[in-house]
Structure 1
Amino acid sequence: MDTAGSSSVPNPTKPTYACVRCSDRKVKCNREVPCSACVRHRALCIYRPPKAPRRKKTHAPHDQLVERLRRYEHLLQERGIDPEPPRSIDNPEEIPPIEQGPTPAASAETAGVAQSPMPVSAPSEPRATIFKPEVIQGRSGTRLVDNSLWSRVALEIDENEENVEEDSANDTSDDLPSDDDFGYVLGDKMPNMSPLHPSAEQIYELWGIFLENVNPLSKVIHVPTLQPAIVKAVNNIAQIPRGFEALMFSIYSTAILTLTDNDCVSRFSEPRSILLRRYISATKIALSRAKFMSSNSIVIMQALLFHLLSLRDHSEPRAVWTLTGVAVRIGQGMGMRIDGTLLGLSPFETELRRRIWWQLNMHEFRAAELCGQAKYRDFKLDETTPKIGANVNDCDMHPSMTSAPVESGKITEMLWCSFRTDLATGGAAQQERLRNAGKVGFTSEEFIAMDDLTIKDRFLQEMEEKVETKYLRFCDPSEPLQFMTLVGGRLALNLARFLTHHPRRWAQQSHVPDEEKKLVWDVVMQLLQQYDMMQSSPQLQRFAWNVPYFIQWHAVIHAMDLLRAEPLYPDATKAWRLIEALYRNNAEMLLVTDRPILLAVGNLCLKAYDARETVLSRDGRKEQVPEYIMKLRERARARKEALLERRARKTNVNVPPLHSHIEGPTSTLPSDRLLSQQFATHDHLAMPPSDDTFWLSDALVSDTFTIGAVDPMDLDTQDYDFGGSGGDAVDWAQLDAWFGDPVLANLGGR
């Protein structure tokens, strides 16, 4: 047995394996005699040959695999191809073992991730004092180490971590409750059982719909590698890894999202609402089973992103924004906020991560806006920010490529995504420039309200030059994706013009100069026309699903407000035709009863049309009431009746006798007025207070709750009036409240 003294004598032959202590601790050993770790800890350094590893079961004997490899090398040499010389075998431990062939399920997830092998990030030498961000890759995916605290931990991570790290996301054994199960974030109690897949024929049909309708507008998957993975999964449905299963269900739900109700009935014999609810719920279950909150898998990241797309139009905006924030945090933990070239990742994975990161952030920008938040407040652009995805087709990329794909000088499949990302980076860069110029805390909303048209017009000119010269002039209207980009580009420029000359700059409508009013009106009319074209054009029908989420409600509300103030404004008839088209193309605007912004727009539309009817009647003219106006009136009437009934039920339980609070004879009051007056006095008794009011007020020491205890249902009877009684301009601050007020946003949950 060696002693401390003898072990310090340099050994002429450097060991090819770790010392006993480093092996037990599973840390990096530099294989010196003694090793640096034992010297640092003043421990005895002993080297013993490791036990022979147990042979793994393989699908083919080892000798057959070696013989096959030699035969392939011989065939290559016969054809004049010199095989790559083998790596140096000075260190036998660096020779990777011949592994068992992948199972169909494992191949499916590998193809879905579409990653090529990456070098292990643990350095062979102690790192410098200044720690630089790096990625650590294990079987569960890639995670980023980006602070000095973790730099010491990263040094101790064994280079063969993948041999000991558990891949809980792909574990198909029965789950037990654990502290890292955050499935409740998705909003439902998640069962442990695997959700039910559709039939093989329906899976292939949904996959085809996804490729045609969703993939051109998202581009966060690599079709050539995912296509065979889908086939393998269908043929082995019971053995799909959990992350890949979540991706499949998210593909089903987004495919259904793009179809009309008639399409769903004819293709799948079920209504769209039922299919969409089924597959969204199944995606939630699959994500929960895959433990998405603690995942580092690109596959799960793709599934989560598609899940956000599938529920964004029908879910409460604040919840969508919050879940999007969860996805952003998961991406940050995987190092996606840093360009892959700076982390030493393979060119293929670098490109895929860029696409995912930008799609996620563009979704976050819009989700924040719909919640009343500034679009780019927490987004920073610097030298580490991921680049825009390369302008290449999927066929020009493959997981084993050793260099970055060469940008194409022609239009590719990435046209729409590159165009949108360019717009997002331009907007974020403009906001960053203004902050750097000394405008502390400058936000996108402050840009809208700026009076300095020089800065705003310069930004608009730069944006127009980029969009026109880089994208629109190359678009062929006969190609659906190029036509979509052409119309979308024109719409984006008009939207920028509207924001540049936003009515918020003026306190009242009467203060706006006629030229400015005409300019904004013309821009809004063009916006409504372009929304209609993107949703009603047969050529763009497969992309129409993506439009409603990006409708600029400020522009729609401005049009209705002006029509209310000036019912016979020039082109008013054309404007009403475009508003009718908006309701026709977005039926949920007539059906949804729990989205404050849609209710507000509906009530403002009724006020504007009432003003039009009044003026026409005064001039002796009359027109047929459009169907959507009749439906809006019916919805408003039904909601008021439901509220009165609800109040009446509460009155019988909560409200003391009427005579003790109302002066004068009450029998002369009509029943609805009497009820209204009664609740004007006792509305604070309708419901218990909110959580915050409960502990922030003195409600606990009172017999009744009197502070802030307003029944949110009472808001249903409000007129959603954004202007004054004289028809002045919209109160934009009140409009922001409809976007972002959490009480109003939760009306449907009461």
Structure 2
Amino acid sequence: MSATDPSISPDPVSRPPQPLKPQRVLACILCQQRKVKCDRKHPCANCVKARAQCIPATQVTRQRKRRFPERELLDRLRKYEDLLRQNNVRFEPLHKDSTDKTSPKVEDGLGYGSDDEGPRAAVMDRPSPATTTSSDRLPETKNILHAMSQEFRDPDNHSNSSDDDVREIHIRTAISQLALNDDHLLFGSGKGSVDISSLHPEPIQLFKLWQLYLDNVNPLLKVTHTPSLQGRIIEAASNVSNIEPSLEALMFGIYCMAILSIDENACQSTLGSSKEDLAIRYQFGCQQALLNCGFLRTADRECLTALVFYLMSVRPGTVTQSLSSLLGVAMRISQRMGIDKEAILAKSAPLEAELRRRLWWTLVLFDARVGEMADSKSPSLTPIWDSRVVLNVGDSELRIHMKEAPQAQGTFSDAIFAVVRSEVGNYVRHTKWHLDFSNPALLPLAQAHQPHTFVEGSEMGSLESLIEDKYLRHCDPEIPLHFMTIWTARGLLAKCRLLEHYSRSSSIPRDQADAARDAAFANAITLLECDTMISTSPLTAGFMWMIQFHYPFPAYVQIVQNLKRQPLSPRADRSWEALSANYEAHHKIRTPHDAMFYKILAPVVLQAWTAREEASEQLGEPVATPRVVSYIRQVLSQRSLVSNTAQQETTSSIDMNTFSMPMPMTFDPNMFFGMSSQQGYTSPEPWVNPGMVGLSPLNVDPNQIDWSSMDWNLGSAPATTESNDLSGQSLQY
């Protein structure tokens, strides 16, 4: 018997007909949907006129409306996409096409395109083609707000539930609106309504600054995309009173970096103003522009880039501890944006993801260097994040509307410097010797994620082979960027070897100590020679702002200590030549920032040379005085004469150097917000120390030096025109 037999009633229980009271006749379904008056007949006049099927409302079983019926499907889809990423399976993400080509523009600091959740730290994405790290993924970090919003959700419940009202985006929005104004926390208050359009340079000078940035800064950092940014800057220059806040902040940051990258003479000849005046003007403009775009709560990449540029530009005149504190703010903003997590970067377009990745590496390496100078345990260069290294591709290969990231170049690109630095940083952050200095508790995580092979007790062998074979052998030393990359990379590797030696020195067996110390001696000489190469070459004149930031102080300490202990070492002559050449590169032109060299290193250099003279005299061998020793003796002699003359002429004056204080001592007020002077250094004789000549022998122990009080800004101040030559002329300071 067929189940579709019309003689069979679908109702298994037969009910006798009962008289029912007339039911209320409702409007048909179509009339209800059209919101027109229905004559309540069947078929109604409207349906007949429209030639549509007339369905009485009483024949439709009303179902409870489900709120957001696709929500569970989207959650499941996200989960499956994460699983695909974890297993390195290529696929087309559901929301990839909807990702904006630029960073989110928000005012409340959320910056997330989803209506239900912000970025969640997830597992590590597929490995970079530009790195050799292990594909082992990092543990997943859960989001407490997302977990709270999902606590009472029943995937099988299709009813309208009030649980949907407690959603992550609502919580974030409510939190962000608790305080209406937080601009007063840094850079003062933006309530003064400063018209920063008047602080922009004239169009001709604006494009000069832009070109200086492209020549001197962009090749080293690569945090901006020239093809897409240049058109926006040209358009903005035509109407500086109506520029998007984040772009305006970025433009002022570019001005600041352009001024940082040139010296006083070039600034006067190119821009017609002093470097100090322009720096004050553009740094103030950058502060105000950052306030205008709410930089403390931003999720905008260009705004964060402007903040990083500002901090880099004020570095030469800023105490490192103050700068380190402000860098902590920038680091926290970047982590909230998720630019350190590949799972979040994967949701952005390839161009935006790569620019954020480059910005993260720039910020991390900058923070690590400032932390090193401030003697703080930098928490940034650690294995707890999973951002990949910079992709070895040029700007022309990154396009706004591209859907897939381009393949890394097998040779070199215009991002080679940033690529090599990130490659070294990515390797170092997993090494035992680096974590010994920063956070030893993270060593198990680093070794589990990226185990390194020890060759002759060192972790650096595989990295050196990688850098040389994969990158440096393809570079042309006649190209300025390639020349800078070659010698910076080799110097950086030598520095890593030297720091690794310091980490292991206490555990080296006694019978191997001399060999290890000799190897460290060789690495220190190599570091000094590499720094001299890039400091004296005309190819790198525009990159001096970066070179001066990495003064090779550890190499000086290691070399002079070895020369004191082994004055007749086979490496002695090479060492003295390396010291002399590097001194001429950094100190032949006097600057106020030479105080550290003359207070810490100069006495030990003289002691090392005294030991060499005594040893040569015993052997009856003539010895020529190195240039660095002659320079130091002349400077100290003239300083002593100037100090004695000043004391005789003005006995009532007070010389700060006569006070008893820890050495070295610097004073720098330049980090005050609303500063009136950028340099802030008024002493005409910053390194005067009448008692320096004839100091008792000083044995420099790197562990006993007060690194945090040291003035690291060697060579960064505007140079005076006086040259420290040996012509017999009296030097004026």
Does the C-alpha gap of structure 1 residues 208 and 556 become closer, same or farther in structure 2, counting only changes over 3 Å?
same
Find out whether 1:120 has 2:113 as its counterpart: yes
Structure 2 residue 732 is matched with structure 1 residue 739: no
Radius of gyration: which is bigger? 2
**What is the identity, as a one-letter code, of the residue corresponding to 1:631?**
V
Match of 1:584 in 2: 584
| In structure 1, C-alpha distance between the alignment counterparts of 2:31 and 2:349, rounded to whole Å | 36
Deviations for 1:297-354, whole angstroms, at most 9, x for unmatched residues?
1111111122222223332111221111111111111121222556622222222211
Contact 1:475 1:486 in 2 (8 A): yes
Query: How many angstroms apart in 2 are the aligned matches of 1:14 and 1:613?
Result: 107
The residue that corresponds to 1:600 in the other structure is: 600
- CA 1:330–1:504 in structure 2 vs 1: closer, same or farther (change >3 Å)? same
The answer for the alignment partner of 2:665 in structure 1 is: none
Match of 2:167 in 1: 155
- How many Å apart are 1:219 and its aligned residue? 0.7
Match of 1:328 in 2: 331
Aligned to 1:417: 418
Looking at structure 2, the residues matched to 185 and 636 of structure 1 have their Cα atoms a distance apart, in angstroms, of 44
Corresponding position: 1:286 with 2:286: no
Q: Contact 1:393 / 1:414 at 8 angstroms: preserved in 2? A: yes
Change (3 A) 1:632 1:545: farther
The answer to which structure, 1 or 2, has the higher relative contact order (CA under 8 A, 6+ apart) is: 2
Which residue in 1 is equivalent to 2:635?
Answer: 631
* Counterpart contact for 1:506–1:512, Cα < 8 Å: no
1:217 shift after superposition: 0.6
Distance 1:634 1:650, change over 3 A: closer
The within-5 A match list for 1:315-354 is 315-339=318-342, 344-354=347-357
The residue identity in structure 1 corresponding to 2:561 is D
Aligned to 1:49: none
Q: Deviations over 1:117-159 (max 9, x none)?
A: x993125xxx9xx99559xxxxxxxxx9943278648836489
> What letter matches 1:269 in structure 2?
G
- Please give the alpha-carbon distance, in whole angstroms, between the structure 1 residues aligned to 2:332 and 2:256: 23
Q: Which residue is 2:126 aligned to?
A: none
Letter paired with 2:411: K
Q: Distance in 2 between matches of 1:332 and 1:639?
A: 51
Q: Is the 8 Å Cα contact of residues 593 and 599 (structure 1) preserved in structure 2?
A: no
Shift of 1:218: 0.3
Q: What's the RMSD between the two structures over aligned residues?
A: 5.3
How many angstroms apart in 2 are the aligned matches of 1:503 and 1:431?
A: 9
Partners of 1:330 and 1:647 in 2: how far apart?
A: 53
Cα distance in 2, alignment partners of residues 554 and 590 from structure 1: 21
Q: Which amino acid aligns with 2:544?
A: A
Aligned-partner Cα distance in 1 for 2:692–2:245: 46
Deviation at 1:392, TM superposition (A): 1.5
- CA 1:197/1:605 → structure 2, altered by over 3 Å: closer, same or farther? farther
- What is the match of residue 403 of structure 1? 404
Secondary structure at the aligned position of 1:238 is classed as coil
Q: Where does residue 575 of structure 2 map in the other structure? A: 575
Instruction: Specify the SS of the correspondent of 1:388.
Output: coil
Runs of at least 5 residues in structure 1 that lack an aligned partner in the other structure = 1-5, 17-31, 38-95, 97-109, 135-143, 169-176, 444-451, 652-671, 684-712, 746-750
How much has 1:426 moved relative to structure 2?
0.5
Q: Give the 3 Å change call, closer, same or farther, for CA 522–432 of structure 1 in structure 2.
A: closer
Tell whether the 8 Å contact from 2:596 to 2:712 is kept in structure 1 after alignment: yes
Q: What letter matches 1:739 in structure 2?
A: W
SS of structure 2 residue aligned to 1:459: coil
Q: In 1, are the aligned partners of 2:477 and 2:483 still within 8 Å (CA)? A: yes
Q: How does 1:123-142 map to 2 (within 5 A)?
A: 123=116, 132-133=120-121
C-alpha distance in 1 between matches for 2:339 and 2:641:
50
Query: Greater helix percent: which structure?
Result: 1
Structure-2 change in CA distance of 1:486 and 1:428 (3 Å):
same
Q: Which moved more, 1:259-268 or 1:588-597?
A: 588-597
State the match for 2:463 in structure 1: 463
CA distance in 1 between counterparts of 2:652 and 2:507 reads: 41
Q: Residue 360 of structure 1: SS of its match in structure 2?
A: helix
Q: 2: distance between equivalents of 1:233 and 1:388?
A: 32
Q: What is the CA distance between 1:536 and its match in structure 2?
A: 0.9
> Which deviates further from its counterpart, 351-360 or 580-589?
580-589
**SS of equivalent residue, structure 1 residue 365:** helix
1:636 and 1:258, CA in 2 relative to 1: closer, same or farther beyond 3 A?
farther
Paired residues, number: 551
Q: How far is the alpha carbon of 1:719 from its aligned partner?
A: 8.5
2:368–2:378 contact (8 Å) kept in structure 1: yes
Q: What amino acid maps onto 2:337 in structure 1?
A: M
CA distance change for structure 1 residues 404 and 486 in 2, over 3 Å: closer, same or farther? same
The answer for the alignment partner of 1:275 in structure 2 is 278
Q: 1:357 aligns with which of 357, 360, 376?
A: 360
Aligned-partner residue type, residue 429 of structure 1? H
Instruction: Provide the identity percentage.
Output: 25
Distance 1:526 1:534 in 2: 13
TM-score between both structures, scaled by the size of structure 2:
0.62
Instruction: Confirm or deny: 8 A CA contact 1:11 1:33 kept in the other structure.
Output: no
Amino acid at match of 2:543: F
Counterpart residue number, 1:262 = 265
Correspondence list, 1:444-455, <5 A? none
* Change over 3 Å in CA distance of 1:184–1:524 after alignment to 2: same
TM-score, normalised to structure 1, is: 0.61
Say if 2:219 and 2:417, in contact at 8 Å, map to a contact too: yes
Question: Hey, what does 1:48 align to over in structure 2?
Answer: none
Alpha carbons of 1:644 and 1:303: their partners in 2 closer, same or farther (altered >3 Å)?
A: farther
Amino acid at match of 2:394: N
Could you tell which deviates more after superposition, 608-617 or 414-423? 608-617
CA distance, structure 1, for counterparts of residue 634 and residue 539 of structure 2: 31
Given that 1:460 and 1:497 are in contact with CA atoms closer than 8 Å, whether structure 2 keeps it comes out as yes
Looking at structure 1, the residues matched to 308 and 602 of structure 2 have their Cα atoms a distance apart, in angstroms, of: 31
Q: CA deviation at 1:608?
A: 4.5
The answer (yes or no) to whether the contact 1:597–1:739 under 8 Å persists in 2 is no
Deviation string 1:25-70 (CA, Å, 9 cap, x unpaired) is xxxxxxx966759xxxxxxxxxxxxxxxxxxxxxxxxxxxxxxxxx
Distance verdict in 2 for CA 1:514–1:132, change over 3 Å: closer
- Name the structure 2 match of 1:248: 251
Q: What is the aligned counterpart of 2:194 among 192, 202, 208?
A: 192
Could you tell me which runs of 5 or more consecutive residues in structure 2 were left unpaired when the two chains were aligned. Answer: 1-23, 35-62, 69-97, 123-140, 150-164, 445-451, 663-684, 714-733
1:78-97 correspondence to structure 2 within 5 Å: none
- Distance between the aligned counterparts of 1:325 and 1:593, measured in 2? 25
Checking the alignment, whether the CA contact within 8 Å between 2:368 and 2:381 is kept in structure 1 is no
Tell me if structure 1 keeps the 8 A contact 2:351–2:399: yes
SS in 1 for 2:199: coil
Measured after TM superposition, the shift of residue 531 of structure 1 is: 0.5
Shift of 1:421: 0.7
Partners of 1:11 and 1:553 in 2: CA distance: 84
Equivalent position of 2:95 in the other structure: none
3-state SS in 2 of match to 1:336: coil
Tell me how far apart the structure 1 counterparts of residues 463 and 280 of structure 2 sit (CA, whole Å). Answer: 40
Supply the distance in 2 between the matched residues of 1:191 and 1:641 (Cα, whole angstroms).
52
Cα distance in 2 between the residues matched to 1:726 and 1:614 = 15
Question: For 1:588 and 1:11, how far apart are their aligned partners in 2?
Answer: 92
Describe how 1:361-376 pairs up with structure 2 within 5 A. 361-375=364-378
Post-superposition offset of 1:578? 3.0
- Listed one character per residue, the Cα deviations across residues 86-119 of structure 1 (whole Å, up to 9, x for unaligned) are xxxxxxxxxx9xxxxxxxxxxxxx9986999x99
Is the 8 Å Cα contact of residues 382 and 429 (structure 2) preserved in structure 1? Answer: yes
2:554 is matched with: 554
Instruction: Rate the CA distance shift 1:179–1:273 in 2: closer, same or farther, 3 A.
Output: closer
